[in-house]
A and B are shown apart, each in its own frame.
Chain A
Amino acid sequence: MSRIIRPAVQDGEAIDGPDLNTRFSDYTQTDLNAFNHRNAAYDLPQFERPGASLYGFLGKYQNSITLGKDDWKHTSSVTVSGTATSPPAAPYVVGDGVSPTVMNFGVAGQTVAANDVLRVYWDLSVYPHWIGSRPWATSDVNLISNGGGGSVAIGTNGSCWAFWLQWDVTSNALTNFVNVPDQGSFDSNLTGSIYGSALSDTMATSVVPAYIDRGNPSAGTLPHTPVQVAVGWRGISGAWYYPRTSGSQTIYGMRLVFTGVLLPYYNAGTSSNALVHDTAWADDARMSYNGGKLNAFIQRIG
């Protein structure tokens, strides 16, 4: 055995078919030898997994962009109101207040091939808040005895805003964003005037509480008016994996969208839990946000 020693192609040389073939056939098992390929050169991910015909991990592509309005001290934020229309309006797209933030996968896009996995991570600084005094008191409360024959309304603390991923798998024009697989837009008419998505369609969703209402119970009663607690600025994050077991999918872009406010709901018709729009106080709900990151990583797993 010997090392593969072959001079590089020089400017001005004619490209010759046999020579080109030889440059690849150099890498046959016979010529891969101790000097150029063996000693301490192998790691577990490179070897076949018995019975699975799969190999270890390998990164193929990565992309990372800044989401939203990058201003970590919140000098200036993007603020929107809750969605009070029914059926609900299209979701908001996270952006800098002027333009939506879009991750561009290039003119030809990026292909997630069979035995690849697309891993997506994101984070964002958000501030859910409201105007008025405990505006949710009419629609999102439990009534607790006040110990004096009456009752006190305290929020269920179930209201939330939802952020989720969309991708464009049509073209690099990036005008055809749709929800990623197993993700809904919280605009399906579940029954009557109730619009939302089953929890099975929230696989790329992050939620953040819309408010916190805190009571001070005494012997099973709630003698005092609850205290509304500011949710405050907080970071949220999410992750989504897209494993491809056969075929392939070309992706041209991704973005983060959101809507609110939503409430937990049990859909008796389908015996499933859902998040649905709460339009009763959405006019008073506000969502402010600043910056974050959107990260995508395509990895070969076989």
Chain B
Amino acid sequence: MSYTPPNSFTNGTVLTSAALEGNSEALRVYLHNGIIASDVENTPWIQTRHIQPPSYDAFTGVQHGVSGHQGGQWAGGVNVRLTFCSKYTTGGGRAATSIFERLSNSSFQIEVRQPNSIILYHYWYEAELGPDYSTGGGQVSTEEDRLVWIGPHLGSLDLVAGALASLQEAQNLQDAWNGVYPIGAVKSMPYTGGYASRDGTLLDFRPNIGTNTYGLIYHSQIDRAAVVNWGVAIEVYYL
């Protein structure tokens, strides 16, 4: 049914903020989600063509509509998209460095078209880390203490703005390479600490419209870590 103000006002009576805000809130609810079938059918000035079809970006898997964004992407079934971390792009494993790099394939760049928007960026991944028992100078000396940090980031310039606290660690495989055939890790990953299954959600509030980037970043002290399965998803709600 059409909007009906819940409160009316009379001269000479106290004007309360509750009554004023009550009308505004009811209007906000109606405009956002109070439209029923008869509003459209009885007065057919809203036609199907006026309902905005969401724009869909096949590359990022995200659609954008009037009320916000939603969508996601993942490693994929037969078309598995492995991604990786490496110490060689974040300081060579030196303990003193704090360099971050993007985790390939995990980012969204979205255009937020309403102020005061709420963004939730969800992520999960499985990774197999190391073994890295290299002896280069400056590295964390105890091999099992070498870590990879993976976490969410926002923004396009500062890779770690606002998200350092959400970095999650995973540990180097606690056995070195097998010296004889078959070459590989001496023990399988889940038994020796070199396997990580992590997930999390970043919540961000955007007071202004604009283009924003959400994705995963990493800092690695391990030479190679394969992110063998992963998925990211985004929800954006315009208030």
A72/B43 in contact, CB under 8 A: no
Q: Does B35 count as interface, using CB distance less than 8 angstroms?
A: yes
B193 touches A58 (CB 8 A): no
Mark the stretch among B46-54, B79-87, B176-184 that contacts chain A.
Answer: B46-54
Cβ B169 vs Cβ A233 within 8 A: yes
Most buried by A among B50, B174, B203: B203
Is the beta-carbon distance between B39 and A29 smaller than 8 angstroms? yes
Quote the shortest CB–CB distance from B94 to chain A (angstroms).
12
| Interface residue from B46, B117, B168, B238 paired with A234 (Cβ < 8 Å) | B168
| 8 Å CB contact of B51 from A28, A42, A70, A293 | A42
A42 with B50, Cβ < 8 A, contacts A230-B144, A237-B198 known:
yes
Verify A70–B164 contact, CB threshold 8 A: yes
The residues of B that contact A181 with a CB separation of less than 8 Å are none
Asked if residues A232 and B145 are in contact (CB atoms below 8 Å), the reply is: yes
Contact of B52 among A25, A43, A236 (CB under 8 A): A43
Cβ–Cβ contact A291 & B165, under 8 A: yes
Q: Note all chain A residues with C-beta closer than 8 A to B98.
A: 73
Min CB distance B30 to A, Å, is 8
Which of chain A's residues have a CB closer than 8 A to the CB of B67?
Answer: 43, 45-46, 56-58
Of the four ranges (under 10, 10 to 19, 20 to 34, 35 or more), the interface on chain A belongs to 35 or more
Known contacts A29-B3, A42-B35, A72-B167; decide if A239 and B201 are in contact (CB<8 Å).
yes
Q: How large is the interface on B (under 10, 10 to 19, 20 to 34, 35 or more residues)?
A: 35 or more
From A16, A229, A230, A300, contact of B11 by CB (8 A): A16
* Chain B window 1-31, contacts with chain A (Cβ cutoff 8 Å), 1 for yes, 0 for no: 0110100111111010000100100010011
Partner-binding segment picked from A61-69, A170-178, A196-204, A246-254 = A61-69
CB distance from A223 to the nearest CB of B (A): 16
B161 in the interface, Cβ–Cβ < 8 Å? no
Quick one: which of A42, A239, A293 contacts B166, CB cutoff 8 A?
A: A293
Report B's interface with A, CB cutoff 8 A: 2-3, 5, 8-13, 15, 20, 23, 27, 30-37, 39, 43, 45-46, 50-52, 54, 65-68, 98, 117-118, 120, 144-145, 147, 149-151, 164-171, 174, 187, 191-193, 196, 198-205, 237-239
Q: What are 9 A-B pairs at a CB distance below 8 A?
A: A18-B9, A58-B239, A59-B238, A66-B165, A121-B120, A235-B198, A237-B200, A293-B165, A293-B166
